[in-house]
Amino acid sequence: MYAYEGLYSLPYLLLYGAAMMMLIIGGVYLLFRPANLFSPTIRSSASLRYWAAACLFAGAASHVWWPMIGQVWLADDRLVRNIINITLDRLTIMQLMMILLVRMLQNSRRPLWPIFASYMLLVGIAAYGIATRSADTERWIHVYMNIVCVVFVLWYLPALWRYNRWLRDNFSDLQHKEIWQSLAFLVITLGAYSVYTQLFTDMTSEYSVQIGNFFLVAFIVWRVETLQDLHGYEQTGQLDAGESEQESQPEQPAEESKQARRNNNSEIEELLRKNCEQTGLYLEHDLTLAQLALAIRTNRTYLGQYFADQGMSYNAYINGLRVDHFCRLYSEALESGNTVSAQQLALQSGFSAYTTFYTAFKARKGQTLTQWAKEQKNADEYYQKFNI
């Protein structure tokens, strides 16, 4: 609402008010509803819900301070009112969006002070512009924010990669844990920001921003409610120091240490064979590395190191066993003449989502399920007995 043309358009005012109400409703829902609407079985992070609600409330507040400052307080001073409004938007909405994206990375508690510090310079730019009444202040704010956004993206991408690696090293099921959708959220947000700041004199961009608010609310609520809270993982599923069968040893010479590591890996391999592969423990849904370590009575660190030495992730190990189990069930079904579905067998094999199974199957077998199944029997028998 840079030039406030929308104040004289009834359709725009209705859309503006509806967007503000949508932001408020979304914030109130996240703040006060204890259970999830989208995924009732998922426990989302309370901290993430609070930050998401704050982000939506900031968007709603922006719908108030733009007309109030522009039409009531500083109606005759376009330069100062725009500097204040733009700075408030960046200090609240943009900053909270970045914090929200950081809080989605649950593999560690990352400090937020770098984000807060980066916005302090923005306050200085705005204060200097107001004091000197510089007409270039808006441009410098946009330039600085573009720099902040680029730096944030360059930091976020490798952080997201490390988070996904952490997931694969600790969880067998990645559904409701991956946040690659946040990349789409990031791209859309920054794209909308760029369009808004470059085409702010066009009412088309004003309409686009208000319509975008509806998508923003829907995405944030959906993302928060479908993202499982993993912050307690580091404190669960571990043996006490006295219970571990493989306690920490004093520092050893390099050769002895390598030999001890090989012996340790051999012991873990045998424990996995007896207590996981033979018992079918891998069929349990959402089996974590910590839970597996507890079940076979070893240390989670040693178990994680074992998989690293084998050149595989924990996720690949468990899902590989599940795929092999699926293949056995499929062969048994064909031999007995039973009609089965891939979805049914995938569920019986420990997969909680068919899309996860399909990806794991291709990674394990190097071909799609359809290609593999056709190789087992001729095409006619395949279509009669197996419903892909």
Q: How far apart are CA 167 and CA 161, in angstroms?
A: 10
- Contact assessment for residue 346 and residue 326, using Cβ atoms and an 8 Å cutoff: yes
Q: Cα-flanking dihedrals φ and ψ of residue 235, to 5°?
A: -105, 5
pLDDT the model gives residue 21: 96
CA angle (242, 245, 248) in 5-degree steps: 70
Residue 45 CB-half CA count within 13 A:
22
Alpha helices, DSSP H, located in the chain: 10-32, 46-68, 78-89, 95-103, 113-132, 137-170, 181-198, 203-225, 254-272, 289-296, 300-309, 314-336, 342-348, 354-365, 369-376, 379-385
Q: What is the DSSP string of 16-69?
A: HHHHHHHHHHHHHHHHH--S-SS-TT----HHHHHHHHHHHHHHHHHHHHHHHI
pLDDT the model gives residue 240: 35
Per the document, the length of the chain is: 388
Q: How far apart are CA 215 and CA 37, in angstroms?
A: 17
| pLDDT of the chain, 388 residues: tens digit per residue | 545 566 667 888 899 999 999 999 999 999 988 677 777 788 888 889 999 999 999 999 999 988 888 777 776 788 888 899 889 999 999 899 999 999 999 887 888 999 999 999 999 999 999 999 998 998 899 889 889 988 998 999 899 999 999 999 999 988 888 887 776 776 676 666 666 655 555 677 778 788 888 988 998 998 898 898 887 665 444 433 333 344 444 444 555 467 777 788 889 999 999 999 999 999 998 899 999 999 999 888 999 999 999 999 999 999 999 999 999 998 888 777 777 788 899 999 999 888 889 999 999 999 888 888 877 765 445 455 555 5
Q: How far apart are CA 195 and CA 239, in angstroms?
A: 53
pLDDT the model gives residue 49: 92
pLDDT the model gives residue 146: 86
